């Protein structure tokens, strides 16, 4: 669980801070002193031969949940729709390398073996008719995504550089908008795999910095584009009770442009024509020391609107977990349904249960 793994952070850090004092070293003549950078202080470095091993016919269970500042409109082919302000997605995916793009990049297809979605409808979409229509929308979305493929471009340093959704049609403007909405949602299923590592995925103790990670980006509903911002994450690698743990702490900012009609209707500065968020990330990952790749990760990301936003930007929350599965593992993805929000009770809707529970 998230709270258990994040709890390891304090234990691992306390171990290094409160350990017994080391005996004084004998004096060394000044001319013989060699100063090392922090990342050079190690006992042994393992250079892994295959930096793409985690994409070789591997299966994963992904759980992710979002509380969105802007509602996402999920649509059915027959013109039904539901606006979602929060959602949970659970999926079992199988990934395989399909084509080498160049020396340090591969294309990977991840089939969605099973998927479950729980969606919180927008407050104006809670009439009984809207809820009935919304359930039909979710059932069709579930059917479209089950068996579909997420096509990834991955780098040898651990990053996922691009995500596309295959097997879902995009034949005209309306259908293309539906496709892009689902692609944005499914990008949050994959984003937990994205972590830039050291060269050759070296797993010696120490820290490194990652800038502008996809995990600290924010999905936006079509037709909004041009999301900006920046972030910095510091990763700390510790070995604790036989585990290789990477603790991650980050801060950043995200800027989302408002729709064109809203911008032109307000005489505001360029900064005030967008939603601005300050984001914070905390997470823990477990790595396989033999293979050199991540086998489990949990994270929690929060984003709060800044005072410079002309509109009340609200908050953005994104928590998730990924873990590697065995060939016969079959975790439950749960039902596909409409639910009430995390802090509310809505008649005729089941309650939201956070994934860390």
Question: Average pLDDT for consecutive 10-residue bins of the chain (357 residues)?
Answer: 45 42 46 49 70 96 94 90 96 97 95 97 93 95 95 96 89 86 94 94 94 93 85 96 94 83 49 81 95 96 78 81 96 95 86 82
State the Cα–Cα distance between residues 335 and 142, nearest whole angstrom.
10
Contacts of 311 (CB under 8 A, 6+ apart): 258, 262, 275
With the CA atoms of 320, 15, 237 and 319 taken in that order, what torsion angle do they form, in degrees rounded to the nearest 10?
10
How many helices (H) and strands (E) the chain has is answered by: 4, 12
CB of 340 closer than 8 Å to CB of 120: yes
For the four alpha carbons of 149, 151, 155 and 160, in that order, the dihedral sign comes to: negative
CATH 3.30.200 applies to domain 50-338: no
State the Cα–Cα distance between residues 43 and 300, nearest whole angstrom.
32
Q: Where are the domains of the chain?
A: 50-338
State the Cα–Cα distance between residues 84 and 72, nearest whole angstrom.
5
Residue 85 CA: distances (Å) to CA of 142, 260, 298, 336: 18, 21, 22, 16
CB of 74 closer than 8 Å to CB of 222: no
Q: Which pLDDT value is given to residue 57?
A: 96
The structure tokens 């004096």 sit at 27
CB of 337 closer than 8 Å to CB of 88: no
- Preceding amide of 223 cis, omega within 30: yes
DSSP letter, residue 222: T
CB of 110 closer than 8 Å to CB of 152: yes
Q: Which pLDDT value is given to residue 11?
A: 40
Helix axes 128-145, 173-190, angle to 10 degrees: 70
Q: Provide the whole-model pTM.
A: 0.83
Q: Collapse the DSSP code of 87 into the 3-class scheme (helix H, G, I; strand E, B; otherwise coil) and give the result.
A: strand
The structure tokens 């065995």 sit at 326
Q: Which pLDDT value is given to residue 31?
A: 44
For 160-213, the DSSP string reads EEEEEEESS---SHHHHHHHHHHHHHHHHHHGGG----SGGG---SEEEEEES-
């Amino acid at each position: 669980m998230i709270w258990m793994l994040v709890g390891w952070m304090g234990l691992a850090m306390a171990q290094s801070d409160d350990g017994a004092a080391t005996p004084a070293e004998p004096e060394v003549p000044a001319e013989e002193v060699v100063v090392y950078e922090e990342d050079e202080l190690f006992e042994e470095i393992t250079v892994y031969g295959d930096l793409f091993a985690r994409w070789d016919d591997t299966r994963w269970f992904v759980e992710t949940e979002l509380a969105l500042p802007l509602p996402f409109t999920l649509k059915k082919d027959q013109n039904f729709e539901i606006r979602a302000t929060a959602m949970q997605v659970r999926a079992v995916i199988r990934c395989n390398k399909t084509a080498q793009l160049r020396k340090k990049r591969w294309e990977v297809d991840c089939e969605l073996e099973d998927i479950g979605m729980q969606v919180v409808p927008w407050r104006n979409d809670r009439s009984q008719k809207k809820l009935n229509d919304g359930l039909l929308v979710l059932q069709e979305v579930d059917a479209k995504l089950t068996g579909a493929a997420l096509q990834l471009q991955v780098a040898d340093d651990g990053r996922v550089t691009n995500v596309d959704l295959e097997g879902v049609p995009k034949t005209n403007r309306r259908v293309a908008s539906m496709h892009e909405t689902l692609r944005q949602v499914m990008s949050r299923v994959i984003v937990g795999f994205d972590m830039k590592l050291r060269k050759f995925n070296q797993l010696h103790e120490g820290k490194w910095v990652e800038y502008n990670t996809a995990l600290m980006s924010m999905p936006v509903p079509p037709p909004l584009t041009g999301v900006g911002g920046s972030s910095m994450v510091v990763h700390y690698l510790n070995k604790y009770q036989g585990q290789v743990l990477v603790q991650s702490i980050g801060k950043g900012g995200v800027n989302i442009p408002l729709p064109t009609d809203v911008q032109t209707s307000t005489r505001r500065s360029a900064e005030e024509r967008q939603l601005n968020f300050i984001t914070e990330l905390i997470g823990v990952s477990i790595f396989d020391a033999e293979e050199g790749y991540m086998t489990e990760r949990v994270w929690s990301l929060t984003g709060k609107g800044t005072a410079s936003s002309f509109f009340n930007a609200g908050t953005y929350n994104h928590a998730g977990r990924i873990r590697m599965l065995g060939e016969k593992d079959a975790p439950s993805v749960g039902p596909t349904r409409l639910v009430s929000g995390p802090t509310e009770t809505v008649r005729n809707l089941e309650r939201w249960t956070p994934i860390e529970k």
